Chains A and B, each alone.
Chain A
Amino acid sequence: MARKSKKIYKTESGAVVHGVMAEFATPADFYHAAENVRDAGYTRWDSFSPFPVHGIDEAMGLPTPRLPLVAAVIGFTGAGLGYWMQQWMTAVDYPLVVQGKSYDAWEPRVPITFELGILFTAFAVLIGMFAFNKLPRHHHPLMKKERFLRVSDDRFIICVEAVDPRFDPSGTRRMLESLGGTNIEIVEE
């Protein structure tokens, strides 16, 4: 039933509306509000807290992240490259008899194969974390709000974006109010 919403909301001064944000006092209120926003059928919204509130991903109905799969694929690629590098260097490009052992023996290659697998996974995890989160990002409309900057300290904020098909400036605002949200503000793009 996802209908495309092309409607653009504007404030009286003519600025494009990014969304409506509301503040919640405690992690418990924040958590229950997130459950209710999810159940109200919103999809383009987000919540912000100074630490990951336990279980918030389920309360928001977020899908399982795909990062582990990406990390595993890149990690095994790294290990494979590590093995292939050693094979090529010691058995193909520069075959050298060491201790009379076979050029192709796999045993001495285990440590470096393992280390390179770990190294690739670590980079995949960090870069993948940024990529999935669409970071680094220079600016965000929310960051114009002084109140929002306090999330990094001790505030809990939910913001429903104007691009959400169910977004309605007054209705969304009323819903956030009814869930216990305070200091409700319009966020301009």
Chain B
Amino acid sequence: MAGLTPEPETPRVLDPITGDGTLIDDPAVRPPLVLGNHSFHDITEIVCGYAENKPGRWWLPAFGVASSIAGMGGLFILYLVITGIGTWGLNNQVDWAWDITNFVFWIGIGHAGTLISAILCLLKQKWRTSINRAAEAMTIFAVICAATFPGIHVGRQWMAWMLFPIPNSNQIWPNFRSPLLWDVFAVSTYGTVSALFWYMGMIPDFATLRDRACLALKRNPDGPTLLPFIPLRVAKLRGLVYGFLAMGWRFSSRHWQTYERAYLILAGISTPLVLSVHSIVSFDFATSVIPGWHATIFPPYFVAGAIFGGFAMVLLLMIPSRELFPNMKDLITLRHLENMAKITLVTGMMVGFAYSMEFFIAWYGGNVYELDAFINRATGPYWWAYWTMISCNVLSPQVYWFKRMRTNPLVIFIVSAFITVGMWFERFVIIVTSLHRAFLPAEWGMFFPTPIDICIFVGSCGVFLTLFLLFLRFLPVFAMSELKAVLPQASPHYHPPAPPVDGTQAAHAQKRGHGE
């Protein structure tokens, strides 16, 4: 039950300099990755506790609201399929609008998960172990939301299977020179590989949950049943489901050796994969001739923007979670938040640089159409969208230059919300403002969203949140085996510090203990 027992101590007193004890600036001191001197058993209890016990009172109302919104979105998609794309606000002039904006928005959010699980793994950033599971889950849910939009944008949704090269009675194949087809392969590969990576990481944790269910069943064969009239024990069901997912994992060192090698290869291939996915998404635009789209800066600019928006979403989800779940602050420390805030600042600066470079090239390139497209972006009918984008994405992360700001969860949460809005507007600006003033004045028009546009987008947020809440409730939210491995006592060369004689020696022993 430890996972959900409220923290015994009074609210932890935060040190003005080191915060909860992890914000140490001295590079010679290795700050703890997990607070509270937890043993291996404590980690199991905390993390399994989230999946095994009833969550707090907030969970059910939150789930009710999120799943109702998701259901509403589903009904509007049904209406769209029955009625047609004309129910959206897009038209002959602006023929890509919220659908593709939402697609790029969601697919970008996924990128932070892969960055944390793959790139930070290759760079041996051990702090990733507390956040990788949740970030990977977020990636998969975001890809699910993203994949919906092109699927329903094709018009005749029942023909969406023709996106894939499947033999058909017309005896035709898709056009392999089109970036839209590359996108089909990139996004479906990305979704699949992320799901495999996520699943493989969870195998040992499923085995832990399985073994705990077996022990609970042995200890108390008459435990609670699933429903009052069905004689299926909760522990039995848990053992069966987690046992199936664990595939007979038994924590053998011979297995761990292959497993670690497999994990490293997956991290190695996911790194170029994540860079390729958003590059290919950007090709959808960059390979066309529309002013404002036809730019070689797009691939790196889109990748930086995706990581930027993705980290903002990780923070938006993790900051409330760590307040709502007991003991989670020991696992996601202020240093984790600070590190993510720093990555947000760096990628935000990259995005700001890309915005200014686009303008510079529009002028320096000497192409009047290009220049006009950019002046129109900043001063035309969609000026408000452009300046929302600039203020949210370029200005708001600047507060992270101050350590007090980037270590304050409330500030990080607010800035992350701004960034999420700003990144949505970035895609809107790129797509709609470029299309609404094409080469011929006859192609000029405006886009106004209809209620269906809005409801389907809000519905996709509901789907995302519903899936994430289910994840928090039923799956191992932290990679237990990885967290245990980064505890100081996990090292085979660890020796428990000598009993402290006075304060200074205790602090010294603490330092040594956290080293190798």
Contact = CB atoms under 8 A, between A and B. Distances in A.
A53 B254 CA distance: 11
Interface residues of A, number: 71
A153 B44 contact: yes
Contacts of B482: 51
A65 B215 contact: no
A153 B254 contact: no
Interface string B418-462: 000000000000000000000000000000000000000000000
B261 interface: yes
B257 A52 contact: yes
A66 B192 CA distance: 24
Nearest to B186: A115
Contact of B253 (A52, A71, A99, A138): A52
A94 B174 CA distance: 10
B265 A119 contact: no
A184 to B, nearest CB: 19
Contacts of B165: 85, 89
Contact of B262 (A54, A118, A125): A125
B259 interface: yes
A15 to B, nearest CB: 20
B53 to A, nearest CB: 17
B177 A152 contact: no
A106 to B, nearest CB: 11
B176 A130 contact: no
Interface SS majority for chain A? helix
Contact of A154 (B39, B252, B258, B485): B39
B335 interface: no
Contacts, number: 208
Which residue of B261, B482, B492 has the most chain A CB atoms within 10 A of its CB atom?
B492
Given A31-B492, A62-B257, A90-B176, A68 B265 contact: yes
Given A49-B256, A51-B484, A122-B193, A90 B173 contact: yes
A138 B248 contact: yes
Which residue of A96, A112, A115 has the most chain B CB atoms within 10 A of its CB atom?
A115
A51 B490 contact: yes
Interface string B29-43: 000000000011100
A116 B218 contact: no
Interface string B115-141: 000000000000000000000000000
Interface string B169-200: 00111011101011001100100110011011
A128 B214 CA distance: 28
Given A115-B189, A119-B193, A133-B258, A57 B173 contact: no
Contact of B176 (A46, A112, A126): A112
B266 A122 contact: yes
B280 interface: yes
B340 interface: no
Contacts of B247: 130, 135-137
Given A51-B481, A126-B196, A153 B212 contact: yes
Interface stretch (B11-19, B268-276, B500-508): B268-276
B110 to A, nearest CB: 15
Interface in B473-510: 480-482, 484-485, 489-495
B277 to A, nearest CB: 9
A154 B44 contact: yes
B255 interface: yes
B176 A55 contact: no
B382 interface: no
B22 interface: no
B222 interface: no
Contacts of B253: 34, 46-49, 52-53, 56-57, 60, 62
A152 B269 contact: no
B250 A146 contact: no
Given A27-B490, A55-B492, A135 B249 contact: yes
Contact of A149 (B39, B182, B211, B259): B211
A99 B176 CA distance: 12
A121 B247 CA distance: 21
Contact of A133 (B181, B259, B283): B259
Contacts of B179: 111
A26 B474 CA distance: 30
27 contacts: A26-B494, A27-B489, A27-B494, A28-B495, A50-B208, A65-B258, A68-B265, A93-B173, A94-B171, A94-B173, A109-B176, A111-B186, A116-B185, A118-B272, A122-B192, A122-B197, A122-B269, A125-B265, A125-B269, A126-B196, A133-B252, A133-B254, A138-B248, A140-B248, A152-B212, A153-B44, A153-B211
Given A50-B44, A65-B261, A154-B39, 6 more contacts: A50-B480, A65-B258, A123-B196, A126-B200, A126-B266, A153-B211
Which 8 pairs across A and B sit closest by C-beta, in order of nearness? A154-B40, A31-B492, A137-B248, A136-B247, A52-B256, A129-B262, A152-B208, A89-B173
